[in-house]
Amino acid sequence: MNADDLVAQPPGVADPGQIAASPGSGPVTADARAALAAVRDEVGRAVVGQQSVVSGLLIALICEGHVLLEGVPGVAKTLLIRSLADALSVQSKRLQFTPDLMPGDVTGSLIFDARTAAFEFRPGPVFTNLLLADEINRTPPKTQAALLEAMAEGQVSVDGEARPLPVPFLVAATQNPVEYEGTYQLPEAQLDRFLLKLTVPVPERSEEIAILGRHAAGFDPRDLAAAGIRPVAGPGDLAAARAAVRGVRVSDEVTGYIVDICRATRLAPPIRLGVSPRGATALLATSRAWAWLSGRDYVTPDDVKALAGPTLRHRIQVRPEAELDGATADGVLLGLLAAVPVPR
| Higher pLDDT among residues 187 and 31, named by residue | 31
Q: How far is CA 302 from CA 16, 70, 307, in A?
A: 16, 24, 9
Give the model's pLDDT for residue 243: 93
Domains of the chain: total: 1
Cβ–Cβ < 8 Å for 217, 147 = no
Distance CA 12, CA 224 (A): 26
Distance CA 223, CA 244 (A): 35
| Confidence bin at 245 (pLDDT 50/70/90) | very high
CATH number of the domain that residue 55 is part of: 3.40.50.300
Residue-number span of the structural domain to which 166 is assigned:
5-339
- pLDDT over threshold 60, residue 22: no
Q: Kindly give, in sequence order, each residue whose CB lies less than 8 Å from that of residue 257, ignoring residues fewer than 6 positions away.
A: 301, 304, 340, 342, 343
Task: Return the percent helix, strand and coil in the chain, to nearest 5.
Answer: 45, 15, 40
In a domain, 333, yes or no: yes
| Confidence bin at 180 (pLDDT 50/70/90) | low
In a domain, 192, yes or no: yes
| Higher pLDDT among residues 221 and 33, named by residue | 33
Tell me the average pLDDT of the chain: 85
In a domain, 344, yes or no: no
Cβ–Cβ < 8 Å for 310, 198 = yes
| Higher pLDDT among residues 254 and 114, named by residue | 254
In a domain, 196, yes or no: yes
> Residue range 202-220: average pLDDT?
88
Backbone torsions φ then ψ of 197, nearest 5 degrees: -115, 115
Burial of 80 (0-12, 13-18, 19+ CB in 10 A): buried
Which amino acid does the sequence have at 6?
L
Provide the 3-class DSSP secondary structure of residue 314.
Answer: helix
- pLDDT over threshold 70, residue 2: no
> Residue range 103-111: average pLDDT?
87
| Higher pLDDT among residues 337 and 203, named by residue | 337
In a domain, 296, yes or no: yes
In a domain, 239, yes or no: yes
Distance CA 156, CA 125 (A): 12
Provide long-range contacts, Cβ within 8 A and 24+ apart, for 24-32. Answer: 24/297, 25/244, 25/297, 28/240, 29/240, 29/241, 29/244, 31/237, 31/240, 32/233, 32/236, 32/237, 32/238, 32/240, 32/241, 32/244
Q: For the chain, give the percent of residues with pLDDT over 70.
A: 90
pTM, to two decimals: 0.85
| Confidence bin at 182 (pLDDT 50/70/90) | low
Of 9-18, 166-175, 225-234, 305-314, the poorest mean pLDDT is in 9-18
Q: For the chain, give the percent of residues with pLDDT over 90.
A: 43
